[in-house]
Amino acid sequence: MDTGGGPRAGGGRGPGRRALLLGGAAGAAVVGSGVLVWDELRHLWWRAPGVERPRVAGAVDQPGAQWVAASEANWRRADRPADYPVDRIVIHVVQGSYPVALKVFQDPAHGAAAHYVVREDGHVAQTIRELDVAFHAGNRRFNERSVGIEHEGWVDRPGQFPEAMLRSSARLAASVCARYGFPPDREHIIGHVEVPGADHTDPGRYWPWDRYMRLVRQARTEVEGTRAAARRG
């Protein structure tokens, strides 16, 4: 279970302009030794009045996704990529059904949730905004830099990942890559099992990585073509 990690120690740096925007909040941010956690503060500048981007209730980042909000206990408010650059996608398999995934993500006692859940028929639910840090990877640094995509299914059963699911997930992954400008390859799209320190085995040996990555690259080409056409207007 990922709890999002604790505060990071500062590196001896003084406060930047953004940290100073926090005023009294900055002065209150101390650890037991009395040292200000400047490294943490520099990621909180966007909380200053007038800086935070407006948010629309129920808005989704992925066109066509259904908004199904996860419990606020299972993610941390942020302003990515302004405060944390996004350069990874983590692929998960829930070990259960689509309704089970949504139910546990809505449970504040669960302590974890991914940004998206993909159903067997390809339907996509978004449960956390990409702006925010989801507790899904079991590693704080990876949580802060990644988007988590959960899939209905079981890691120990062959044939659990039908074509509709793979194509839909691949379109989603390609769109995330395009939004944040990182390549659709296996360095940047990884399984939960590949996260440093993770104790999970998903997506498991039956996840068709070769097929999936071909679909992601194909979808990325389509996304770029659509964007180019829109620019030509």
Q: How confident is the model at residue 44 (pLDDT cuts 50, 70, 90)?
A: confident
8 A C-beta contact, residue 130 and residue 53: no
pLDDT digits (tens, 9 = 90+) for 94-115: 999 999 999 999 999 999 999 9
Summarize the confidence of residues 2-24 as an average pLDDT.
35
Summarize the confidence of residues 114-128 as an average pLDDT.
98
The least confident of 25-39, 47-61, 206-220 is 25-39
Spell out the residues 6+ positions from residue 76 whose beta carbon is closer than 8 angstroms to its own.
4, 132, 133, 135, 143
Residue at token pair 């669960």: 110
Burial 181-212 (b: 16+ CB within 10 A, else e): ebebeeebbbbbbebeebebebbbeebeeeeb
**Residue 53 CA to its chain's centroid (Å):** 18
- Phi, then psi, of 226 in degrees rounded to 5: -65, -40
Distance CA 91, CA 101 (A): 14
The pLDDT, as a whole number, for residue 16 is 36
Q: How confident is the model at residue 34 (pLDDT cuts 50, 70, 90)?
A: very low
8 A C-beta contact, residue 104 and residue 214: no
Q: What percent of the chain has pLDDT over 90?
A: 69
The pLDDT, as a whole number, for residue 120 is 97
8 A C-beta contact, residue 89 and residue 186: no
The pLDDT, as a whole number, for residue 48 is 75
The pLDDT, as a whole number, for residue 73 is 97
pLDDT digits (tens, 9 = 90+) for 125-184: 999 999 999 999 999 999 999 999 999 999 999 988 999 999 999 999 999 999 999 999
The pLDDT, as a whole number, for residue 230 is 62
pLDDT, mean over the chain: 84
Q: How confident is the model at residue 217 (pLDDT cuts 50, 70, 90)?
A: very high
Following CA atoms 121, 171, 64, 148 in sequence, which dihedral angle do they give, to the nearest 10 degrees?
A: 90
Distance CA 222, CA 161 (A): 22
**Residue 108 CA to its chain's centroid (Å):** 18
For the cut 50, the answer to whether the pLDDT of residue 7 exceeds it is no
Distance CA 178, CA 164 (A): 21
Region of 176 on the Ramachandran plot (φ > 0 left; ψ -120 to 50 alpha; else beta):
alpha
Distance CA 50, CA 28 (A): 21
